[in-house]
């Protein structure tokens, strides 16, 4: 499939079949994420794949019990992935003159999207989740004190159909040489 077909296919899936996800496929997704660009090649990420059923249930419940009342489906996802922010090399090179927060988060987003697009190419569904108690999940996953879960992913074989995406028209989100609109 072309890249645009892949981009059209990838969606936020919130319902999954009970089919087990192969570790080889998850590692392929991590390899795609590994290839994402990052500021000064800092690669400020680590992917903690949660495929132990009891731990998936425990962490899924932590995600589902968020103040916004969203992401209840996390309790039934076959696999969860914690995208952990690692210290970025950029700060060492910049000697504290450049705020690291912005670049590391951009890099994490790029790596996460590479993971999700690779998953879609393999027939897996994903959902990126940001509403959760990171301290509780950090503790459940034994993260060091200087690390933090940036985002969580639900991964599995989708039980629903691909939806038609509703997006703004290209001329509403793009202009050449100056801002228009």
Provide DSSP, 1-67: --HHHHHHH--B---B-SPPPPHHHHHHHHHHHHTS--GGG---EEEEEE--HHHHHHHHHHHHS-T
What CATH class is the domain 9-159? alpha beta
What is the token pair recorded at 123? Answer: 């027939």
- The answer to whether residues 156 and 177 touch, using CB atoms and an 8 Å cutoff, is no
- The answer to whether residues 151 and 129 touch, using CB atoms and an 8 Å cutoff, is yes
**pLDDT recorded at residue 91:** 56
Task: Give me the residues paired with residue 50 across strands.
Answer: 80
d(CA 72, CA 60): 8
Cβ count within 10 A of residue 139: 11
pLDDT in tens, the chain (181 residues): 899 999 999 999 999 999 999 999 999 999 999 999 998 899 999 999 999 999 999 999 999 999 898 999 999 999 999 999 998 765 555 555 665 567 889 999 999 999 999 999 999 999 999 999 999 999 999 999 999 999 999 999 999 888 888 999 999 999 999 999 8
Helix (H) / strand (E) element for 148: namely strand 148-156
Domain residue spans in the chain? Answer: 9-159
């Amino acid at each position: 499939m072309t890249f645009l077909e892949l981009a059209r296919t990838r969606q936020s899936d919130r319902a999954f079949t009970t089919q087990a996800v192969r570790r080889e496929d998850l590692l392929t997704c991590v390899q795609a994420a590994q290839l994402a660009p990052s500021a000064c090649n800092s690669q400020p990420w680590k992917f903690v794949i949660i495929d132990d059923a009891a731990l998936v249930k425990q962490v899924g419940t932590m995600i589902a019990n968020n103040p916004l009342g969203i992401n209840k489906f996390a309790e039934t996802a076959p696999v969860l992935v914690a995208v952990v922010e690692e210290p970025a090399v950029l700060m060492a090179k910049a000697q504290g003159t450049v705020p690291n927060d912005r670049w590391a988060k951009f890099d994490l987003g790029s790596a996460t999207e590479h993971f999700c697009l690779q998953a879609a190419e393999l027939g897996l569904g994903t959902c990126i989740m940001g509403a959760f108690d990171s301290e509780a999940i950090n503790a459940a996953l034994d993260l060091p004190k200087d690390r933090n879960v940036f985002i969580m992913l639900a991964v599995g074989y989708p039980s629903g159909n691909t939806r038609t995406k509703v997006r703004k028209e290209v001329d509403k989100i793009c202009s050449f040489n100056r801002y228009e609109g």
